A and B are shown apart, each in its own frame.
Chain A
Amino acid sequence: MENFAALVYLAAAVLFILALRGLSHPESARQGLLLGMTGMGIAILTTLMLPTVSGWFLIIPAVAIGGGIGTYIANKIEMTSLPQLMAAFHSLVGLAAVFVAAAAFYNPQAFGIGTPDDIHLSSLIEMSLGLAIGAVTFTGSLIAWGKLQGKISGKPVVFGGQHVLNAALGALLLVLIVLLCITESGVFFWSIALVALALGVLMIIPIGGADMPVIVSMLNSYSGWAAAGIGFTLHNNLLIITGALVGASGAILSYIMCKGMNRSFFNVILGGFGGEQAAGGPSMEGRSAKIGAAEDAAYIMKNASSVIIVPGYGMAVAQAQHALREMGDILKKHGVDVKYAIHPVAGRMPGHMNVLLAEANVSYDEVFEMENINRDFAQADVAYVIGANDITNPAAKNDSSSPIYGMPVLDVEKAKTVLFVKRSMGSGYAGIDNPLFYADNTMMLLGDAKKMTENIIKAFE
């Protein structure tokens, strides 16, 4: 039976890999998801059949309770709340890892890794790693969730000696792991958990809301490493393989997000970006911007032959995606070519804008990634920027004193007319003024993203 289970676990791991491969295209993705679900299903069923698993009377209710809650939440949640949902889910993986590590610590016989006061050394090390990473993932994701949900301020929390404190806690963690390996005492086990929980909080509080795409990806990665750590502890290859896949996936997403902001991973992790000190660049005081009304925008777009829509986080906040799609449909009826341009860090999680546009029924072949559409702005009549700011800032290209200098941006200023929907004339998250507002070919449309788009639709008629 043990060998059979190992083979089924291998099959499950292969199914997980195929599920990830399916995501290379929207058409193959749904089939891939089915493979992933099958993999999970056979892994769990086989585990239930193991001779060491004696009774199901506790397992079934636990799965039913958890599964019921998960099903309810996933069906109810609004797509705009996706980033915080992901953060919340990551925190649960972290906490589950902590509990599994603890269960293994108090009942090592169940996994054949020793007896309560005589656990194998390698298992203790692996267990503490799974425990520590799980605990960091738990509290870190909780803070990220709070920031995304608006429960706590998205502003970075910075104080003197922050990095020294974090480094000291990290060192303390290593000392505690060594002590646990020597003494095998529960005191040190829970001390590791507490220090790691504190570290998770301290690591995420200095990071600003707009850096959340990196953080959500990083925590995704951590949840994978935690699972792998548990896999080492329990001598289970399926957990190790899956953990490595998830860990690699999150790491790649973090890398892509960092590249999208032209910042190093460490620069993001050290935090503080978006605070007072980040403001820079020449002041735009005294320059005047052209401010237009919905009717002007409607007139310009109706007479255009091509419009590129550039959505940002503001579109998600205002839930403007449905109105936006409606506007696109009307424009298409007037013979206007409509495309959507997505910056890698638009929104609060990787692919955030794509999901929202898909929700609003925008065909995925009208939605383009930055590198595939940036050349088209020069030929476009209108760039309709809605809820985005820094990702369109030309200062990133030509002003070396700007804090976002070097960040890849969408070349919206090359369009004949830029329609910029914005709530007020304030600056973006990084406190950076956008010279685009004052450009000759820019018309500012001040107002809520959704209301403004709806007013434009009305003005079409």
Chain B
Amino acid sequence: MEQTVNPDNAPLAAQLRQLSESAAELAAQADVAGGVAHGQPFLIMGLTVFILACFVGYHVVWRVTPALHSPLMGLTNAISSVIVVGAVIALGAAEASGFSKVLAFLAVALASVNIFGGFIITRRMLHMFKKKG
């Protein structure tokens, strides 16, 4: 870079260099901070996320109109099958015993029944709720 810099731009180049140095410094600090976060057991982070999500769920669900409580159940049923993510990881793992593969296969299939079934039945229900006249 520096070879091609013409004299007019020299101060700019110096500033740039300074900037990149401080960026590197910041990155190093972030690494340390990241390390601390990794050092913390996942349980604490998970629990934080869990409790906050419970509050979000509480407030969002109270706003659901009672007329749509059945579709709510269909939708929550579909999204709770997001455990398929865990099952896919287990099924796709390279070094795995046959038994754990069978378990993971069944889990993926069962969760898929729910994902497709849950979303479709919810869609069917919601398409019936119409205002007429």
Contacts and interface: CB of A to CB of B under 8 A. Distances in A.
Interface of A: 9, 12-13, 16-17, 19-21, 23-27, 29-30, 32-33, 36-37, 39-40, 43-44, 47-48, 50, 52-56, 58-59, 62-71, 73-75, 77, 79, 82, 85-86, 89-90, 92-93, 95-97, 99-100, 102-104, 106-107, 109-111, 122, 126, 216-217, 220, 223-224, 226-228, 230-250, 252-253, 256, 342, 344, 349-352, 354-355, 358-359, 361, 363-365, 367, 369
A251 B43 CA distance: 23
7 contacts: A21-B60, A52-B89, A79-B125, A92-B110, A96-B107, A96-B110, A363-B132
Interface in B66-103: 66-97, 99-101, 103
A58 B103 CA distance: 12
B54 A36 contact: no
B110 to A, nearest CB: 4
B87 A100 contact: yes
B57 A54 contact: no
Interface stretch (B1-9, B18-26, B115-123): B115-123
A92 B113 contact: yes
A65 B118 CA distance: 15
A26 B113 contact: no
B87 A103 contact: yes
Shortest 3 CB-CB contacts between residues of A and residues of B: A66-B112, A248-B57, A53-B92
Interface string B26-41: 0000000000000001
B70 A351 contact: yes
Contacts of B96: 107, 110
Contact of B89 (A16, A47, A71, A79): A47
Contacts of B45: 237
B11 interface: no
B73 A220 contact: yes
Nearest to A56: B92
A416 to B, nearest CB: 27
B126 to A, nearest CB: 5
A20 B75 contact: yes
A359 B124 CA distance: 9
A47 to B, nearest CB: 5
Contact of A70 (B62, B97, B114): B114
Interface of A is mostly: helix
B68 A26 contact: yes
B72 A253 contact: yes
Nearest to A237: B49
Nearest to A222: B80
Contact of A351 (B68, B79, B123): B68
Given A82-B125, A96-B107, 20 more contacts: A23-B68, A27-B131, A36-B119, A37-B119, A39-B79, A69-B116, A70-B114, A89-B77, A90-B77, A93-B110, A96-B83, A96-B87, A99-B104, A100-B87, A110-B100, A224-B76, A227-B83, A232-B43, A248-B61, A256-B66
Given A70-B115, A71-B120, A103-B87, A249 B61 contact: yes
B106 interface: yes
B65 interface: yes
Given A70-B113, A89-B77, A62 B83 contact: no
A27 B126 CA distance: 9
Contacts of A25: 65
Contacts, number: 385
**Max count, chain B CB within 10 A of own CB: residue among A48, A103, A231:** A103
A82 B69 CA distance: 12
B124 A74 contact: yes
A44 B88 contact: yes
Contacts of A109: 93, 95
Contacts of A237: 45-46, 49
A100 B56 contact: no
Given A26-B68, A47-B88, A40 B76 contact: no
Given A29-B126, A107-B90, A96 B84 contact: yes
Given A26-B67, A52-B93, A253 B73 contact: yes
A74 B89 contact: no
A66 B108 contact: yes
B81 A23 contact: no
Given A70-B115, A103-B100, A33 B80 contact: no
B86 A104 contact: yes
A242 B82 contact: yes
B49 A240 contact: yes
Given A70-B117, A354-B70, A358-B130, A110 B90 contact: yes
Contacts of A23: 64-65, 68, 71-72, 75
A365 B79 CA distance: 28
Contact of A99 (B49, B54, B107): B107
B16 interface: no
B119 A33 contact: yes
Contacts of B125: 79, 82, 355, 358
